[in-house]
């Protein structure tokens, strides 16, 4: 009898604590070794499946604005981590830290969100899932 | 006359002696939430997996990266197809809310509910709002030319304390969420059983697909009982894909 256990590369480290079974493959889209942090103003917050999404405008020197998006876990997972559909609204200033999109787009997978006063929103996604 | 009396006596006996109650099966009913840890596995369940089976360790939150298929041996045509796959292909309005089949879907980190009767058992999944009706009334599978769907045609029976579910008629869909798709000929067998304290539901998912694979595949999956919880609607929003596409 041959039964082979092959361990998913994705299991290693904090990645396993956060990949949410996305319909698109987390492992193929994001690089868990590259962390990106952006600060800006929320323009939209979608509390929907297959993933939640935060859109923010990030001011750059010279008056330019970059439009970043942070993909979150599915709402059912967000709720378990203390989020709600009204957690963010347009105009809120936030700092978002996440894993970089492998293709270099201004698009991250959210790990942690902080409000303007520094408070952490919900339970960060690299913590143990309770 | 003697025969008639015997028949009457037999009929009377039938009324006098209640029919034996159906064998009591474990009650799997309730809400089952995903578990972060899939280890340790239940050795007795694993021992029942057929030979030549690769056990994919991607249950729950883990996922294989591009090009990794967890020990499955792909036929050349299937491998060529899988290698054409690009992650961004999935991030389209047309694709992002296309449900996977239960071959991939049941192992994800989402909950499901079980409704159990002697004749049918209903699995209601949160992931993509999928619902399975598992017939345990002894009926056979649908005719071979019946429509194939993402949840397929499932019939079940009990082997001791284990619910054994046999599924066919699955529409082609992903196996590992990274380009490897199964065919319409995939055949899946699941075994479910409760932990001794009834707080966990443990299962193996085994599948064969000779048109795509030279070996067989399996996963071990377990969930935790969460009384009082309920499955939420999934209601997938395809406009999600636009946010990725619009990124520059």
What is B34-77 written as a DSSP string? E-S---S--HHHHHTSPSSEEEEE--TT----TT--TT--B-HH
Residues in A touching B58 (Cβ below 8 Å): 8, 10
Mean pLDDT value of segment A43-55: 94
**3-state DSSP of B186-221:** CEEEEEEEECCCCCEEEEEEEEECCCCECCEEEEEE
CB-CB under 8 Å, A106 with B248: yes
What is the pLDDT at residue A126?
61
Torsion of the alpha carbons at A35, A40, A45 and A51, rounded to the nearest 10:
-10
Q: In degrees rounded to 5, what are phi and psi of residue A54?
A: -115, 125
Q: Closest-CA residue in chain B for A53?
A: B240
- C-alpha gyration radius of chain A: 16
**Residues of chain A contacting B60 with CB distance shorter than 8 Å:** 21
pLDDT of the residue at A22:
38
CB contact under 8 A, B244 and A19: no
More confident residue, A6 or B27: B27
DSSP structural state of residue A121 = P
Residue pointed to by tokens 């005719």: B143
Q: What is the pLDDT of residue A94?
A: 98
Contact (Cβ atoms closer than 8 angstroms) between residue B65 and residue A10: yes
CB contact under 8 A, A21 and B61: yes
Instruction: Say if B129 is an interface residue toward chain A (CB within 8 Å).
Output: no
Residue A15 has pLDDT above 60, yes or no: no
| pLDDT band for position A20 (cuts 50, 70, 90) | very low
Alpha-helical (H) ranges within chain B are 2-16, 43-47, 76-84, 102-105, 240-245
Please give the Cα distance from B80 to A63 (Å, whole number). 48
Query: 3-state DSSP call for residue A18?
Result: coil
CA distance B87 to B84: 10
* Residue A28 in this model has a pLDDT that exceeds 90: no
Q: Closest to B87 (Cβ–Cβ): which among A28, A48, A50?
A: A28
CA atoms of A17 and A21, how far apart (whole Å): 11
CB A110 within 8 A of CB A99: no
A101 touches chain B (CB under 8 A): yes
Report the pLDDT value the prediction gives residue B52, as an integer from 0 to 100: 97
Residue B156, both tokens: 């079940």
Q: Which domains does chain A have, with CATH numbers?
A: 26-129 (2.40.50.140)
Per-residue pLDDT tens digits of chain B, which is 248 residues long: 444 444 444 444 444 455 555 568 999 999 999 887 778 899 999 999 999 999 998 888 788 888 999 999 999 999 999 999 988 888 889 999 999 999 999 998 899 999 999 999 999 999 999 999 999 999 999 999 999 999 999 999 999 999 999 999 999 999 999 999 999 999 999 999 999 999 999 999 999 999 999 999 999 999 999 999 999 889 999 988 887 777 65
- How far, in Å, are A42, A88, B75, B147 from residue A91 at the CA level? 5, 9, 53, 50
Q: B136, exposed or middle or buried, with CB in 10 Å at 0-12, 13-18, 19+?
A: buried
Nearest CA in chain B to A25: B177
The answer to whether the Cβ–Cβ distance between A49 and B235 falls below 8 Å is: yes
Positions of E strands within chain A: 3-7, 30-46, 53-59, 65-71, 93-101, 107-115
Q: CA B226, CA B36: separation in Å to the nearest integer?
A: 14
pLDDT-derived band at A26, boundaries 50, 70, 90 = confident
Look up residue B42 and give its two tokens: 């239940």
């Amino acid at each position: 009898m041959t039964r082979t256990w092959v361990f998913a590369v994705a299991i290693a480290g904090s990645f396993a604590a956060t990949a949410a079974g996305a319909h698109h493959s987390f492992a193929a889209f994001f690089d868990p070794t590259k962390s990106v942090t952006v600060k800006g103003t929320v323009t939209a917050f979608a509390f929907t499946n297959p993933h939640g999404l935060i859109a923010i405008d990030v001011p750059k020197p010279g008056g330019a604005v970059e439009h970043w998006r942070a993909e979150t876990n599915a709402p059912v997972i967000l709720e378990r981590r203390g989020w709600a559909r009204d957690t963010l609204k347009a105009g809120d200033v936030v700092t978002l830290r996440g894993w970089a999109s492998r293709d270099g787009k201004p698009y991250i997978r959210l790990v942690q969100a902080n409000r303007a006063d520094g408070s952490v929103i919900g339970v960060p996604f690299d913590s143990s899932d309770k | 006359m003697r025969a008639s009396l015997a028949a009457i006596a037999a009929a009377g006996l039938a009324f006098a002696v209640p029919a034996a109650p159906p064998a009591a099966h474990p009650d799997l009913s309730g809400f089952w939430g995903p578990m972060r840890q899939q280890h340790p596995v239940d050795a007795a369940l694993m021992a029942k997996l057929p030979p030549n089976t690769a056990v994919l360790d991607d249950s729950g939150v883990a996922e294989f990266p591009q090009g990794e298929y967890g020990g499955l041996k792909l036929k050349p045509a299937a491998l060529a197809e899988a290698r054409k796959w690009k992650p961004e292909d999935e991030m389209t309005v047309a694709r992002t809310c296309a449900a996977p089949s239960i071959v991939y879907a049941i192992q994800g980190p989402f909950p499901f509910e079980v409704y159990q009767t002697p004749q049918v058992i209903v699995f209601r999944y949160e992931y993509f709002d999928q619902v399975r009706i598992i017939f345990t009334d002894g009926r056979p599978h649908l005719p071979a030319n019946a429509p194939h769907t993402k949840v397929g045609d499932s019939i079940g029976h009990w082997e001791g304390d284990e619910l054994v579910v046999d599924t066919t008629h699955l529409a082609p869909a992903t196996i590992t969420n990274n380009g490897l798709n199964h065919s319409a000929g995939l055949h899946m067998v699941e075994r479910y059983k409760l932990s001794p304290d009834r707080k966990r539901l443990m299962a193996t998912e085994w599948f064969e697909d000779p048109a795509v694979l030279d070996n067989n595949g399996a996963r071990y999956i377990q969930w935790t009982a969460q009384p009082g919880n309920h499955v939420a609607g999934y209601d997938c929003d395809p406009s999600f894909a636009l946010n990725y596409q619009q990124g520059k």
